[in-house]
Amino acid sequence: MPRPTGRVLTLLELLQSGGTRTVAELADRLGVEGRTVRRYVGQLIDLDVPVESVRGRYGGYRLAPGYRLPPLMLSDDEALAVLLGLVAGRRAGLTTAERTASETASAKIRRVLPRHIARRFDTLLEALDFTERPGDDATPDAPHATRTPDTPDAEVLLTVADAVRHRRPVALRYTDRDGRRSERTLHPYGIVAHGGRWYVTGKDAGIGEDRVFRLDRIAAPRTLPGSFEAPSGPGPAQRVLSAFATAEYRHAVTLRIQGTVGEIRAHLPVSVARVDEYAPVAAEEPATERWLRVELRVERLDWLPLVLASLDRPFVIERPDELRDLVVALADRLTSHARRA
C-alpha cells in the first residue's frame, strides 16, 4: 500500500494533468475516503501549491490556471546515476506485484533526457551484466562486510560501454591496487556490476591475456580504430567471478571441508573459493558426508576463522600454518569468554 506522502504526490500529479477533479474521483484513484482527500489537499496548500476548490454539482479541486511544477533538472551524471540505480533495483527484485515502480520512474526520467544521453544509456544497458547469485558480492581482497562501493566516472562508464557494443579497442590509463599506473589497450567484452563495484573484463592487448579491471581505477579512456571478435564461452559476469577465484593474492589457502557444495558456497561463494572433490565418491556414499577440497587466494586471513566457525562442519587446514594459528586463537578466546560467563 502506498505511503501517505506517495498519495499526496499522486494527487498532485492527477491535478497537474488538468481540469477539475471531484472528491469522489480523487478518492477512488487514491484508494482513500473523501475526508482524507481533503486532508491531502490541505497539505498541498501548506506547501504553497495553489489548489482551488470548485463549488457546485461538478465541483471538486483543480490547480490554479497557469501553474506548473518546475521541471526536474538533472545533470547527465545525475540522470545516469538515477537510472542505473533503478536498473540495479529491478535486478535485485525490488518490484511491486504488477508493474515495478522503478520501471515507471525510469520511463519518466528517460522522457526528459537529451536524445544523445538516452542513446548512450541504452548502449550501457546492452554492455552491462550483473553477478546475481546470493553471496557473490564478496571478493578475496575484501569480504562483503567491509566493502565500500566505488563509483566510476560517468564518462568512463559510457565510453567503455560504447567500445563494448561496437567491439572497438580502447586505450586507457589504469592504477592498480598498489598505486602503480600503466597505459593499457583493452578489447572489452562487457561491463559487470558486482558487490557495489563496476568492472570491465576483456583482453589486455599488450600481454594477449584476459584481465579484469575496476572501472573506478580507469582514467582517460578513448576508443581506437579497428575492431575485435568477441570470444565464445562464459559471459562477462562469469569471467569476473572466475578471475576473482583464481587471482594471485598474498595468501594461498587450502582446506578440506566435510559437507555439501551448497553449505560451503553459502559462506564461500564462487568469487572467493574454488571447490573440488577431495576423493572419488562411491555411488552409495551420502552427499552430506563428502570431503571437499576448498582453495582460496586472499589478501587477509583474519576474516576466515569466523567463516569456518559459522560453517559448523568438520574441516582440516592444509595451509597456511598462520591460518591454523588464527583459528586456534579464536577458539581460545571463545573458550575464555565462555568460562567467564
CATH of the domain at 278: 3.30.70
- Check residue 134 and give its pLDDT: 40
193, 222: one domain: yes
| Domain presence at residue 151 | yes
176, 255: one domain: no
| Assessment of whether the complete model's pTM goes beyond 0.85 | no
* Cell (9 digits) for 293: 577440497
* Cell (9 digits) for 184: 593499457
Of 246, 281, 313, which closes a domain? 246
310, 217: one domain: no
pLDDT range class, residue 289, cuts 50, 70, 90: low
Which CATH number goes with the domain that contains 50? 1.10.10.10
Chain centre to alpha carbon of residue 301: 26
pLDDT range class, residue 138, cuts 50, 70, 90: low
Which CATH number goes with the domain that contains 235? 2.30.30
In angstroms, rounded to a whole number, what is the distance separating the alpha carbons of residues 202 and 212? Answer: 7
pLDDT range class, residue 285, cuts 50, 70, 90: low
| Rg of the chain taking only CA atoms, in angstroms | 28
257, 236: one domain: no
| Domain presence at residue 335 | yes
Q: Phi-psi bin for 233: left (phi > 0), alpha (psi -120 to 50), beta?
A: left
- Check residue 93 and give its pLDDT: 56
| Domain presence at residue 215 | yes
154, 237: one domain: yes
35, 102: one domain: no
Q: Which of 299, 237, 239, 241 is nearest to 270 (CA)?
A: 241
Q: How many domains does the chain fold into?
A: 4
Q: Which of 328, 312, 304 is nearest to 255 (CA)?
A: 304
- Check residue 3 and give its pLDDT: 58
What number is the average pLDDT over the span 3-29? 82
pLDDT range class, residue 4, cuts 50, 70, 90: low
Can you list the positions of beta strands (E) in 43-180? 51-54, 60-63, 128-130, 170-175
In angstroms, rounded to a whole number, what is the distance separating the alpha carbons of residues 82 and 186? Answer: 28
- Check residue 209 and give its pLDDT: 92
pLDDT range class, residue 327, cuts 50, 70, 90: very high
Strand 128-130 vs strand 181-194: parallel, antiparallel, or unpaired?
Answer: parallel
163, 186: one domain: yes
51, 27: one domain: yes
Can you list the positions of beta strands (E) in the chain? 51-54, 60-63, 128-130, 170-175, 181-194, 197-204, 209-214, 218-223, 251-258, 273-277, 291-298, 315-319
264, 241: one domain: no
User: Could you read off the pLDDT of 19-51 as tens digits, one per residue?
Assistant: 888 999 999 888 899 899 999 999 888 888 889
pLDDT range class, residue 97, cuts 50, 70, 90: very low
- Check residue 136 and give its pLDDT: 45
Domain of residue 85: give its range. Answer: 76-113
CB distance 281 to 270 below 8 Å: no
User: Could you read off the pLDDT of 224-261 as tens digits, one per residue?
Assistant: 999 999 888 888 888 888 887 666 677 889 999 998 88
227, 149: one domain: yes
- Check residue 117 and give its pLDDT: 78
Q: Is the pLDDT of residue 145 over 50?
A: no
| Domain presence at residue 81 | yes
44, 104: one domain: no
| Residues above pLDDT 90, as percent of the chain | 31
Query: Which residues, 6 or more positions from 190, have their beta carbon under 8 angstroms from its beta carbon?
Result: 127, 128, 129, 164, 200, 201, 202, 235, 236, 237, 239
| Domain presence at residue 100 | yes
pLDDT range class, residue 144, cuts 50, 70, 90: very low
205, 256: one domain: no
pLDDT range class, residue 129, cuts 50, 70, 90: confident
| Domain presence at residue 70 | no
User: Could you read off the pLDDT of 174-217 as tens digits, one per residue?
Assistant: 998 888 999 999 999 999 988 778 899 999 999 999 999 999 99
- Check residue 238 and give its pLDDT: 87
Q: Of 81-95, 170-184, 224-238, 307-321, which range is least confident? A: 81-95
| Domain presence at residue 136 | no
What average pLDDT does the chain have? Answer: 81
| Domain presence at residue 231 | yes
